Amino acid sequence: MAVMREITYQEAIREAMSQMMRESDDVFVMGEDIGVYGGAFGVTRGMIEEFGSERIRNTPISESAIAGCAVGAALTGMRPILELQFSDFITIATDQIVNQAAKLRYMFGGKAKVPMVVRTPGGSGTGAAAQHSQSLEAWMAHIPGLKVVQPSTAYDAKGLLKAAVDDDNPVIFYEHKLLYRTKCHVPESLYSIPLGQADVKREGKDVTVVATSIMVHKALEAARLLEQDGIDVEVVDPRTLVPLDEETLVQSVKKTGRLVVVYEAVKRGGFGAEIVSVIAESEAFDYLDAPIVRLGGLPVPIPYNPELEKHAVPQVPDIVEAVKRTLAYS
């Protein structure tokens, strides 16, 4: 029997970009230190040797300028992949992304296309402190014209990146820092996972846990612990926030009758509230046997201290407790 190949999340992203660049001269990568250095997290390591400095373009330290160049390149027919070293720095590029990239196709009546992908590492867990550890995906999901992706596995990262590059709209592609070294089976061939297609990572009958990014792995660990108590948890990974696969969420909640939503970003105003609203406004509401539980980060900047950092965002015991709390309703 052939052994299924496993590679890391980091390698899967690099492989997807390299394969797409070999297929099309329109695809190129730009960002700070992505050339010889290989990027802040090593994702582009070795790519400059194959593709050269014209297609692996080191840029000045100016996120606004990088994003503006990407918008211009996309408008003229290229498919740029822009790497921002930390997702926090999207704040510096906001004008170009929010007021230009997101709106131009609409403003030109569909005659202009803006096929650009903003790849950026987000989330806490590396001791990078308050200005380099945020989860700001809800900001981007709020903007019409932007698509937002949060892959939780290497397999998903490769397939979703292919779909993002092929899309004629700007896509914000969040890569959690702690996921870069995680491994799973990833086909060598280039494949695409449609944007807007959720994945049931674990089937269950008692409670639905909808989790995003790194929280998918924490939810799966919590599900394994809860299984020891006879509790069968279904874990659903939206994979893309915009577009959102509402149907899969609704069907899961109709099956289990209970919902826990887990995300790393600050609970207040986080995307988990949107997921809760989808269920509350759907036919699944009538199937609920308990109030919905929402777990998110504390309303504080991410601390540098590792213990405080862990305390600021949901952890496995918090998910276990939340599931047991919703099951306490009969």
- β-strand partners of 57: 30
pLDDT tens-digit readout, 109-131: 999 999 999 999 999 999 999 99
Instruction: For residues 45-52, give the mean pLDDT.
Output: 96
3-state secondary structure of 182: coil
Arithmetic mean of pLDDT over the chain: 96
Domain spans of the chain, in order of start: 6-185, 199-327
In CATH terms, 6-185 corresponds, of 1.10.600.10, 3.40.50.970, 3.30.1490.20, 3.40.190.10, to 3.40.50.970
CA distance 308 to 133: 13
- β-strand partners of 58: 31
CA distance 206 to 230: 10
pLDDT tens-digit readout, 203-236: 999 999 999 999 999 999 999 999 999 999 999 9
Q: Tell me which of 132, 176, 185, 217 is the catalytic residue.
A: 132
- pLDDT for 1: 52
Name the residue with tokens 């000045």.
60
Known active-site residue 176: no
Alpha-helical segments (H) within the chain: 9-23, 47-51, 63-75, 94, 102-107, 137-141, 154-166, 214-227, 246-256, 272-280, 306-312, 316-327
Architecture of the domain defined by 199-327: 3-Layer(aba) Sandwich (3.40)
